[in-house]
């Protein structure tokens, strides 16, 4: 995982509640066996018309947001299926930060495993950020978002923050506790499936 | 200290508890399938890592497999590669696989309990959000992403923030339990608490009505916990649970000893505290039908399609309802029973077990599917299919012009050739009515197996309580 650096970009206002992972990456694109290349499928059924031409009314097709790295959206983003492909698609498309008043649990966890920063802010601030037209800066180290006119602090769990800033491999981290795992296994009575 | 059932299972699986951070939790059972595992195995290979406990891991092929004749090769080349990749990964890493032609193949959450892999008090994960199904056995079972699949393969553990226990009580005797099913109970709960009502929690379902449900019905309830936003659903094990798991393929040798221990310990202490609580009265419950594009957009079959203004509390919800009705091509104010359908799907990890098929067959027996409807039954596993065939249930469906298919996830998510065409409307026993879920432009109405069967016969939704049954 790459180290998470400061992100400065305009924001894509995506004013929708309950966006499920079936919309983020429709199932017809889940058959690949690698993690790369999912950006072209992001929000596919919304981004493209049935003739596969871009839907000009869809926000991501507005040239203004072409290089945006920050997506602002509404409650319960990422609900439904556990597919991590949703995170891979958002990242591959170019997003590094997603801001919402709340996220679905599995999606939220998947974001941090891949270095995508998911920030929870209260709805009033989200409403304000949905309207912002200028660039904002997301500074994870100091847990602040800078706009032209204000500095907005945000909360993040220390463990997640450290992993993102250092680009840590979580499995390598866990394997340092092998002795603890072994100790647990010695007293565990769970039956083998062999 | 008094503890909830969830807290007892959590505490007994802690490998490491860190202050102000996630805990490291041991995983007893890891189920994998073809769609969310390839990238995890690739990660292991790139880092030269092994699977720590292949003996606690089981694989099956369910999501993208065709449900047509299995002796033919898979036509979809990309699906075929995904299947072959799982087969190679299982071989390379020493994992048991119930592949497409194995008699134990089936939807991962259906075969877990059927094979006795699912055990009370255990921790179970799978790269699939409906892993919550197996919580019906008093296990802490939840869905994970692919990075976590890789982590569990490599370490047999998972880092997790402690979830909060949420009590949902279902009380009251249903007047007609044949027609008002477990599916109607859970849809009705989601309708009331919302799709994020359970976020950050593990739901424990309790109360008189829950105790009365069979194990298969309890699985339907726990299955859709994720649709209420919860990570997992739980039901304390009882004699029905212990009986269900007796004598299965993987039932442990010292089972009776374990049962004695479970009977004693696997329950919420009488004065334990939940973070929140909700009660549903099931006494006057009616069969439920979803009309929108999320599983909280549900009405009684006797109601009309709501007007967006009825959701006056919240403007964004109103907009959502408007958009959903537009997608569903439904007008507010029309009775649910005036909605005509094109397709019927009886299947999925929610409702494709033997009891579901038996119940639906009672509605279908001696009748014919409406000439305007294409209807299919997709058993949850090869074992379910065989049990149903031994009972002659397949014939009831086939005689009524239902298609009788091989097992798999099928049209619940449409990763295989079983999909809705654009604009097609389906009465489905599955769990998600999201836009395009069953096929681009397809329209899904979530219902119980008996309601789906009744709709297949009549060509539109009907109150199954009013059907003549043979």
Share of chain B above pLDDT 90, in %: 94
Contact status of B16 with chain A (Cβ, < 8 Å): yes
Confidence of residue B158 (pLDDT cuts 50, 70, 90): very high
**Mean of the pLDDT values across residues B334-353?**
98
User: Chain A: nearest CA to B454, how far in angstroms?
Assistant: 28
115-154 of B, contacting A, C-beta below 8 A: 117, 119, 122, 127-129, 143-148, 150-151, 154
CB B242 within 8 A of CB B215: no
Optimal mutation site among B29, B434, B439, B441, interface A, most CBs of chain A within 10 A: B434
Confidence of residue B468 (pLDDT cuts 50, 70, 90): confident
Whether the predicted pLDDT of B389 surpasses 90? yes
Q: pLDDT tens-digit profile of B292-311?
A: 999 999 999 999 999 999 98
- Report all structural domains of chain A as residue ranges with CATH numbers, in order of start: 7-168 (3.20.19.10)
**Mean of the pLDDT values across residues B404-411?**
97
Question: Which class for B78: exposed (0-12), middle (13-18), buried (19 or more C-beta within 10 A)?
Answer: middle
Contacts of A76 in chain B (CB under 8 A): 195-196, 199, 229
CB B360 within 8 A of CB B427: no
| Contacts for A13 with CB less than 8 Å, ≥ 6 apart | A59, A72, A129, A130, A131
CB B341 within 8 A of CB B461: yes
Look at residue B73 in the predicted model and tell me its pLDDT. Answer: 85
Distance CA B234, CA B201 (A): 11
Whether the predicted pLDDT of B340 surpasses 90? yes
Whether the predicted pLDDT of B314 surpasses 80? no
Contacts of A23 in chain B (CB under 8 A): 434-436
Q: Return the closest-CA partner of residue B444 out of B308, B348, B371, B317.
A: B348
Contact status of A33 with chain B (Cβ, < 8 Å): yes
Pairing of strands A7-9, A136-139: antiparallel
φ/ψ (deg, to 5) at A183? -60, -45
Q: What average pLDDT does chain B have?
A: 96
**Mean of the pLDDT values across residues B278-292?**
98
Contact status of A31 with chain B (Cβ, < 8 Å): yes
User: Chain B: nearest CA to A35, how far in angstroms?
Assistant: 6
Look at residue B470 in the predicted model and tell me its pLDDT. Answer: 65
Return the HEC string of A95-162: CCEEEECCECHHHHHHHHHCCCEEEECCHHHHHHHHCCCCCEEEECCCCEEECCCCEEECCCCHHHHH
Look at residue B250 in the predicted model and tell me its pLDDT. Answer: 97
Look at residue B317 in the predicted model and tell me its pLDDT. Answer: 78
Two structure tokens written together for B51: 């699977």
Look at residue A129 in the predicted model and tell me its pLDDT. Answer: 96
Give the other-Cβ count within 10 Å of A186's Cβ: 7
Distance CA B251, CA B118 (A): 9
Whether residue B436 and residue A23 make contact (CB cut-off 8 A), yes or no, is: yes
Contact status of A30 with chain B (Cβ, < 8 Å): yes
CB B336 within 8 A of CB B330: no
Q: pLDDT tens-digit profile of B323-335?
A: 999 999 999 999 9
Two structure tokens written together for B128: 């699939």
Which element (helix H / strand E) includes B158?
Answer: strand B157-160
Optimal mutation site among B75, B146, B318, B422, interface A, most CBs of chain A within 10 A: B146
Two structure tokens written together for B139: 């296990």
| Contacts for A39 with CB less than 8 Å, ≥ 6 apart | A89, A91, A92, A93, A94
DSSP-derived 3-state class of residue A72: strand
Contact status of B89 with chain A (Cβ, < 8 Å): no
φ/ψ (deg, to 5) at B232? -150, 160
In B164-309, at which residue ranges do the beta strands (DSSP E only) sit? 164-171, 201-206, 232-234, 276-281, 288-290, 298-300
Could you tell me the mean pLDDT of each successive run of 10 residues in chain A, 194 residues long?
A: 93 95 95 94 96 95 96 97 97 98 97 97 96 97 97 96 93 96 96 93
Q: pLDDT tens-digit profile of B34-85?
A: 999 999 999 999 999 999 999 999 999 999 999 998 888 888 898 999 999 9
Among chain B residues, the shortest Cα distance to A83 is held by: B145
Q: pLDDT tens-digit profile of B207-255?
A: 999 999 999 999 999 999 999 999 999 999 999 999 999 999 999 999 9
CB B3 within 8 A of CB B234: no
| Contacts for B228 with CB less than 8 Å, ≥ 6 apart | B189, B190, B193, B194, B195, B197, B198, B203, B295
The ipTM estimated for the assembled molecules is 0.95
């Amino acid at each position: 995982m790459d180290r998470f650096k400061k992100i400065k970009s305009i924001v894509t206002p995506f004013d929708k509640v309950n966006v499920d992972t079936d919309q983020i990456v429709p199932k017809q694109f889940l058959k690949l066996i690698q993690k790369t290349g999912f950006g072209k499928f992001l929000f596919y059924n919304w981004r493209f018309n049935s003739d596969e031409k871009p839907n000009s009314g869809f926000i991501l097709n507005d040239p203004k947001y072409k290089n945006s790295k920050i997506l602002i959206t509404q409650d319960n983003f990422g609900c439904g299926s556990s597919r991590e492909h949703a995170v891979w698609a958002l990242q591959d498309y170019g997003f590094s930060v997603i801001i919402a008043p709340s996220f679905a649990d599995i999606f939220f966890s998947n974001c941090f495993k891949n270095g995508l920063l998911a920030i929870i802010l209260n709805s009033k601030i989200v409403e304000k950020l949905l309207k912002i037209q200028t660039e904002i800066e997301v500074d994870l180290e100091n847990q602040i978002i800078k706009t032209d006119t204000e500095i907005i602090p945000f909360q993040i769990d220390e463990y997640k923050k450290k992993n993102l800033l250092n680009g840590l491999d979580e499995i390598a981290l866990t394997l340092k506790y092998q002795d603890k795992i072994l100790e647990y296994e010695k007293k565990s009575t769970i039956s083998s499936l062999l | 200290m008094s503890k909830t059932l969830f807290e007892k299972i959590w505490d007994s699986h802690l490998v490491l508890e860190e202050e102000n951070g996630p805990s490291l939790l041991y995983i007893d059972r890891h189920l994998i399938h073809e769609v969310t595992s390839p990238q995890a195995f690739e990660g292991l290979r790139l880092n030269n890592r092994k699977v720590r406990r292949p003996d606690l891991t089981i694989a099956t092929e369910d999501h993208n497999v065709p449900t047509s004749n299995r002796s033919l090769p898979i036509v979809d080349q990309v699906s075929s590669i995904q299947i072959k990749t799982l087969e190679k990964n299982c071989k390379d890493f020493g994992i048991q696989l119930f592949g497409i032609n194995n008699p134990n193949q089936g939807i991962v959450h259906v075969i877990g309990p059927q094979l006795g892999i699912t055990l009370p008090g255990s921790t179970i994960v799978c790269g699939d959000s409906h892993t919550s199904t197996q919580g019906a056995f008093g296990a802490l079972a939840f869905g994970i992403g692919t990075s976590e699949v890789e982590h569990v393969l490599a370490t047999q553990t998972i880092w997790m923030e402690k979830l909060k226990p949420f009590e949902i009580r279902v009380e009251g005797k249903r007047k007609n339990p044949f027609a008002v099913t477990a599916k109607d109970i859970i849809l009705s709960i989601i309708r009331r608490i919302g799709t994020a009502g359970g976020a950050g929690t593990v739901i424990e379902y309790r109360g008189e009505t829950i105790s009365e449900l069979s194990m298969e019905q309890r699985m339907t309830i726990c299955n859709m916990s994720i649709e209420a936003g919860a990570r997992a659903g739980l039901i304390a094990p009882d004699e029905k649970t212990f009986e269900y798991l007796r004598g299965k393929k993987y039932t442990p040798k010292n089972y009776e000893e374990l049962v004695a221990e479970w009977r004693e310990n696997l329950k919420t202490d009488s004065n334990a505290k939940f973070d929140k609580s909700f009660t549903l009265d099931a006494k006057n419950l009616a069969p439920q039908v979803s009309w929108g594009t999320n599983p909280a957009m549900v009405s009684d079959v006797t109601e009309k399609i709501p007007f967006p203004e009825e959701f006056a509390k919240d403007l964004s919800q109103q907009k959502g309802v408007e958009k959903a009705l537009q997608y569903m091509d439904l007008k507010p104010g029309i009775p649910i029973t005036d909605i005509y359908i094109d397709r019927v799907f009886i299947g999925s990890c929610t409702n494709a077990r033997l009891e579901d098929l038996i119940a639906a067959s009672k509605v279908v027996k001696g009748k014919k599917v409406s000439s305007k409807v294409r209807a299919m039954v997709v058993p949850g596993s090869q074992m379910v299919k065989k049990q149903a065939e031994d009972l002659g249930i397949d014939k009831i469906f086939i005689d009524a012009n239902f298609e009788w298919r091989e097992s798999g996830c099928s049209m619940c998510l449409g990763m295989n050739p079983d999909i809705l065409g654009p604009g097609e409307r389906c009465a489905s026993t599955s769990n998600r009515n999201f836009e395009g879920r069953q096929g681009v432009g397809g329209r899904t109405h979530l219902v119980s197996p008996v309601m789906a069967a009744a709709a297949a016969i009549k060509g539109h939704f009907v109150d199954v309580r009013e059907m003549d049954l043979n």
